[in-house]
Amino acid sequence: MNTATATALPIDQATAAPPPGSLREDAAVISLVGLAHASSHFSHLLLPALFPVFMKAFGLNFAELGLLSTVFFFISGTGQALAGFLVDRVGARPVLFASLGCFIAACLSGYFAQGYGGLMAVAVFAGLGNAPFHPVDFSILNQRVSAHRLGYAYSMHGLSGNLGWALAPVFLMGFTAWADWRTGYLAAALMYGAILALLVAQRRHLHTRVVRHVQHGSAGSGVNFLRLPVVWWCFAFFLLSTMTLAVVQNFSVSIMQAMHHVSFESATTMLTAYMLCGAVGVFIGGVVAARVPLHSDRVVAWCMAVGAVLMALAGTGWLGGFGSMAVLAGTGFAVGVGGPSRDMMIKKAAPQGATGRVYGTVYSGLDLGFAIAPMIYGVFMDRGAYATTMIVAAGLLMVSVYAAVGVGARTDHAR
């Protein structure tokens, strides 16, 4: 007889296999969550996509620009860990709607910005909006999508994120070239408003339930999941791998311009190509994750290792401007292939009843990496150490391979 005491604590049942659903319903859920995820990734570049513009408009240096990204991701990371508890308690849908409201506020802050303080307001509001997305998204997907389609759902989720990254530079710089950067922010606010209206109209597809009972002392109750070593290995993986991506997002355009004297437009196109290659990689990675779900950690490790080698090669500058940009775009493809397997790896590590909290905690490592990296790399950039910046980032990506292997070893042991 089980003597554990049960209480009426509401917890998301996302880790349990959802009931079989129709292809149409699953597609609707995946599409809506994907749209929301794309809007989240778009917010990551609300500031970095316009860094060169702000340097001229407000006389800022790389360290000051890096601080904006640090504030964004510090708020997002701290909020993400806390948002996981909120999602488990009240459900994902209301938290999602509040996040989109924060994005609208961020864009309007950018439209009215008159200096560094206004840009900092963009970072704060956008960070608050970005914080809940991974616990929200994965709680909805894991609960509402049929179990046999989860690998493809993760693929579409990652794909939409990369498309959001790819769209942001083109969107903001397009409006900047056509009118000015303030117009770009106003257009982004209208875009977020339209997305919010659509999600509210289709809200029945985004509903999540909560579990009525959980046993005291189980891994899924309270903060007991924090005692699991595998959770912290996952956290370490996200921290290290994201410190690499932060270089691409924040400084790759400036690095390519400084090292190879390419035009701003060409370097921006390279950043978009990186994101698009990543999107293609995620699409292929979804098939891989669905076919080899038991070896997700090995898939992740190999993909990160290949990405690290390619990034280091781009950092040497041996291939010239075009070659370096092409190889850097290839890094996006390699990392993208590992994306769905990465999400599958986290799902296997999450105890039942704690999906929101585990995803919130683990993905806060992603935000922490984004927060730390710009400050560190900004110092290298201000000293003209452009190649060093890229090679250090590649080294950190290679170290993340060890963390992925550590996650797999501990998940296999748990099984």
Q: Which domains does the chain have, with CATH numbers?
A: 9-414 (1.20.1250.20)
pLDDT above 70 coverage of the chain, percent:
86
Task: Return the pLDDT at 61.
Answer: 84
Distance CA(123)–CA(51), nearest Å, equals 13
By the 8 A CB rule, do 135 and 92 touch?
A: yes
Q: How far apart are CA 128 and CA 71, in angstroms?
A: 10
Of the candidates 374, 376, 352, 356, the one whose C-alpha atom is nearest the C-alpha of residue 364 is 356
**pLDDT of amino acid 351:** 63
Paired sense of beta strands 210-211 and 214-215, if any: unpaired
For residue 15, what pLDDT is reported? Answer: 37
Give how far Cα 255 sits from Cα of 319, 336, 382, 390, Å.
14, 22, 11, 9
Count of alpha carbons within 13 Å of 128, Cβ hemisphere only? 15
The string of pLDDT tens digits covering residues 206-220 is 887 765 444 444 444
Among 104-118, 133-147, 324-338, 351-365, name the most confident range: 104-118
Answer for the pair 275, 166: CB distance below 8 angstroms, yes or no. Answer: yes
Highest mean pLDDT among 75-84, 145-154, 382-391: 382-391
Looking only at Cα atoms, what is the longest distance across the chain? 72
More confident residue, 34 or 1: 34
Examine the pLDDT at 295 and tell me if it is beyond 90: no
pLDDT value at position 3? 39
Mean pLDDT of 167-183: 89
Question: Which residue in this structure is represented by tokens 């439209």?
Answer: 111
DSSP secondary structure letters along 203-247: GGGG---EES-EETTSTTSTTGGGG-HHHHHHHHHHHHHHHHHHH
Distance CA 141, CA 30 (A): 7
Q: Is 298 left (phi over 0), alpha (psi -120 to 50) or beta?
A: alpha
Which is more confidently placed, 372 or 226?
372
Contact 142, 18 (CB under 8 A): yes
The first and second tokens of residue 152, run together, are: 């493809």
Let me know: does 88 contact 69? Beta carbons within 8 Å. no
Helices 355-382 and 320-349, axial angle in degrees (round to 10): 160
Quick one: pLDDT band at residue 102, thresholds 50, 70, 90?
very high
Q: For residues 46 and 106, is the Cβ–Cβ distance under 8 A?
A: yes
Tens of pLDDT, residues 312-338: 998 888 888 888 888 988 998 998 888
376 compared with 215, residue with greater pLDDT: 376
**Which residues lie closer than 8 Å to 386 by C-beta, 6 or more apart?**
254, 255, 258, 259, 380
Asked whether the predicted pLDDT for residue 354 surpasses 80, the reply is no
The answer to whether the CB of 123 falls within 8 A of the CB of 69 is: yes
DSSP alpha helices (H): ranges in 292-385?
296-316, 320-349, 355-382
Q: What is the pLDDT of residue 130?
A: 93
Neighbours of 235 (CB within 10 A): 21
| Residue closest to 340 by CA, chosen among 84, 207, 141 | 141
Least confident of 206-215, 278-287, 289-298: 206-215
pLDDT in tens, 194-253: 999 999 999 888 887 765 444 444 444 456 666 677 778 888 888 888 888 888 877 888
